[in-house]
Amino acid sequence: MIYALLNQKGGVGKTTLSINIAAELTRLKRKVLLIDADPQGSALAWSNCRDEPSFTVVGMAKPTLHKEIDLLSGDYDDVIIDGPPRIAELAKSIILASDIVVIPLLPSPLDVWAAAETVDLIREAQVYRDDLKCCLVVNRKIANTAIGRDVRKALKELEVPVLKSDVGQRVAFPESMATGSTVLSGWNSKGAKEINKLVSELRRIK
């Protein structure tokens, strides 16, 4: 399965989620490839400071990704693509290369509006790929806040499935990333459980 994490807005946690999702799939005995398709190269930088590599990370921020994905993905059970913000041509290629596009967003009105731009790109691609799936995931949710509760109501306007598995605002995510690790490595059991649930829900999408 090829999962792309994509949003035209930056700062929504695409790279952090991509890495943690890849780590969880690896824990489940899947052979995983993470493609860093963001010219900023944050996932590659993270991989360079890992002590014990458990999955492969490669860089390919090219608008021909959808034409080359088969050459890269043949030996893997799952591929995760970490997409860039604000590069429409590259985003379109990533969408065409994917089976499921996951749109992370923060629980804020600005993020809901930005997610709509990505949804529009996906709907354009679905004209050619009617089997292409997409979903939204609420990231960095702050518990017991009105905006955290209300974001799902706002997202209904996009008419795109919203995963039930929210990911909370937890310091363990940036702390683990800084050391080339993930929340699955014992940094925070709540964060690990959130990633477990998120991946389980993603794998049920057909």
Structure tokens at 78: 């799952």
| Three-class secondary structure of residue 175 per DSSP | helix
Cβ-based neighbour number of residue 161 at 10 Å: 13
Nearest CA to 199 among 23, 73, 10? 23
Is the pLDDT confidence value at 188 over 60? no
pLDDT for 55-105, tens place per residue? 999 999 999 999 999 999 989 999 999 999 887 899 999 999 999 999 999
Domain regions of the chain by residue span: 2-194
Give the pLDDT of residue 78: 97
Dihedrals phi, psi of 102, to nearest 5 degrees: -105, 125
- Provide the CATH number for the domain formed by 2-194 in this structure: 3.40.50.300
Distance, in Å, from the CA atom of 74 to the CA atom of 106, rounded to the nearest integer, reads 33
Distance, in Å, from the CA atom of 35 to the CA atom of 58, rounded to the nearest integer, reads 5
pLDDT for 6-65, tens place per residue? 998 888 999 999 999 999 999 999 999 999 999 999 999 999 998 778 899 999 999 999
pLDDT confidence of 154, banded at 50, 70, 90? confident
Is the pLDDT confidence value at 187 over 80? no
Distance, in Å, from the CA atom of 18 to the CA atom of 9, rounded to the nearest integer, reads 16
pTM for this predicted structure: 0.94
Give the pLDDT of residue 186: 72
